[in-house]
Chains A and B, each alone.
Chain A
Amino acid sequence: MTLDDILASLFPNGSDVETVGPMIAGKALLPDGRLIHVLGITQGQPLGVEEAIALAERVIEIIATRDRTPILLLVDSASQRMSKRDELLGLSEYLSHLAKALLVAEAEGHRTIGLLYGGSAAGAFIATALTTGTLVALPGAHPAVMDLPSMARVTKLPIDVLKAKAEATPVFAPGLDNMVRTGGVHVVWDDAVPLAPQLAAVLQRPQGQDDRGRLGAERGGRQKAAELAERVARAAASPQDARRA
């Protein structure tokens, strides 16, 4: 689906969303008449210092309204911008700042929903889609930490061997299915039917704890993370004998 198709299917009452370069910004009316903010990065572009600070600025403006309107973050990006200049300027701070803005928005009562409709990778994926309260995806989305050829180079394994291993576990290979099974993506929407009711269903979910570890365990993609984090918390809470917890 193109961005225009997605917006039309999400907001049958129309939307006021502009795309300037790789940046998406605007708002729309939900079928029930409520307002929703729409932000994002598009065209598979990398997320550098300029893009991150612009997105964060918009999120901070929304927080300042104190109106608790939900925020939909559309994501079709590359990875973080890999350049000397971005790192010289402290790209990590800009990406973290964007992530913090999204997390504060949520804490201030704005539901944050990520819609991954294209690519995203590495630091850009973490600072955008993976920082929203609920991440959904469209079929064909292709999240990655690193592509298999690069991974083959780093791990010094032939790509065929990596592909064979990827059949056995969702834990390392790129792709939407693997991100669903490890709990990172809450649900993959059906693009054959209107998206508006699917968005409404997500907005009706109560805002809650980070449940990605539990989802990953239930779906068999991350069997240890949730249980281990809970055991650590129990060990920390016990006054002594933490070793044995």
Chain B
Amino acid sequence: MTAATANDVPLSWYEASARQRIDALVDAGSFCEFIGPELREISPHLAIFNLPEQFDDGIVIGRGRLDGAPVLVAAQEGRFMGGAFGEVHGAKLTGLLRAARALKQDVVILFDTGGVRLQEANAGELAIAEIMRAVIEARHSGINVVGLIGGRAGCYGGGSLIAGTCSRLIISEQGRLSVSGPEVIETNKGIEEFDSRDRALVWRTMGGKHRYLIGGADIFVDDQALAFREAAIATLAIRSRFDPNVLQAEQKRLERRLHRFGDVEDAIEIWEVLGIDQPTGIPALPTGAFLRAANKRENADDAR
């Protein structure tokens, strides 16, 4: 890393805003925003519901540099409408990914989302589908699309499906990655299926440590902007490919996961099957000790 260009102010990724995260992620002063807030490209649909708008519709996109290398960046603001995808929010990310393919530039997506924005659900759902297609088309042309997960809103719903199309995922303990959120499962299937107020259950079922252990994420980092930055730089240095062979490897990887863990009831049993010495102690471990304990984890190298 180039010391002169690093942003090394301590900053909790979880607590930071989308703009703070971008500033801390890319080389100092290198960020240039596309369709910035001064253009007031707000959602045309929130007014129908008498809801407040945000000038960037909850996503900041643009270009910057990571250790000197040009990169396109998108950051969702999880505090605005839960970072959810609406028409404008989604189209900004779609456009960025299409640009990445044309410009042959890697993309970093800072996820912080509850999924589709219900007030514009159809537009949001289509945006997710368009984004997934654009990610895969970009990856087909040799571009890395790296996802960072560690925000307040987690990475839920359609956001989790987009994350699944990325070439690499970097996650912190606070990052939650799941299709249905705890409240959605509880509302639809009852508290016996999932008690959304049981925070320990939420973390060990959907949280960053579990995802890292089963190969659902590739790099586990502290809840620090600098840690995400260093991991992103290291990840982008590796050219990941995407072709039918990778798809086949992922098929085997996900079949193996079902075979190994398909009958298990709880995350702790999965960690036990993985051969971790004291599985019940995993949630309390600090990063260094956790990474040592995780040496028998499943990984998704060349299979994502």
Contact = CB atoms under 8 A, between A and B. Distances in A.
Interface string B122-140: 1111111110111011001
Interface string B191-217: 001100000000001100011001010
A171 B194 contact: no
Given A123-B179, A243-B32, A229 B94 contact: yes
Interface string B174-195: 0001111000110111000110
Interface stretch (B1-9, B15-23, B33-41, B230-238): B33-41
Interface residues of A, number: 83
A192 interface: no
A184 B133 CA distance: 13
B118 interface: yes
Contacts of B132: 96, 99, 103, 126, 131
B90 interface: yes
Contact of A232 (B99, B116, B160): B99
A226 B34 CA distance: 16
Interface string A64-82: 1000000000000000101
Contacts of A145: 116, 118, 121-122, 124-125
A243 B257 CA distance: 46
A103 to B, nearest CB: 5
Interface string A99-134: 111011001100000000000001101110011000
Nearest to A57: B251
Contacts of B194: 83-84
Contact of B266 (A88, A154, A184, A229): A88
Contact of B34 (A96, A126, A236): A236
A92 B300 CA distance: 14
A84 B193 contact: yes
Given A87-B179, A130-B126, A172-B119, A97 B90 contact: no
A212 interface: yes
Which of the listed residues A49, A123, A172, A174 has the most CB atoms from chain B within 10 Å of its own CB?
A172
B258 interface: yes
B133 A229 contact: no
A42 interface: no
Contacts of B266: 88
Contacts of A186: none
Interface in B35-72: 35-36, 38-39, 41, 44-45, 48-49, 61-63, 72
B180 A82 contact: yes
B35 A60 contact: no
A36 interface: no
Interface stretch (A16-24, A27-35, A197-205, A217-225): A217-225
A91 B178 contact: yes
Contact of A95 (B72, B134, B164, B211): B164
A193 interface: no
Given A60-B251, A183-B126, A236-B63, A89 B92 contact: no
A222 B123 CA distance: 7
A130 B129 contact: yes
Nearest to A127: B161
B268 to A, nearest CB: 11
Contact of B95 (A153, A165, A230): A230
21 contacts: A82-B180, A84-B194, A96-B163, A99-B132, A99-B164, A126-B128, A126-B132, A145-B125, A146-B121, A155-B119, A171-B122, A224-B88, A225-B126, A229-B94, A231-B35, A232-B94, A233-B98, A235-B35, A236-B95, A242-B32, A242-B63
Given A80-B180, A126-B132, A235-B99, 14 more contacts: A53-B251, A64-B248, A84-B194, A84-B205, A90-B254, A90-B257, A93-B164, A100-B164, A122-B157, A155-B49, A184-B122, A224-B88, A236-B102, A245-B35
Interface of B: 32-36, 38-39, 41, 44-45, 48-49, 61-63, 72, 87-88, 90-92, 94-96, 98-100, 102-103, 116, 118-130, 132-134, 136-137, 140, 157-158, 160-165, 177-180, 184-185, 187-189, 193-194, 205-206, 210-211, 214, 216, 243-244, 247-248, 250-251, 254-255, 257-258, 261-262, 264-267, 270
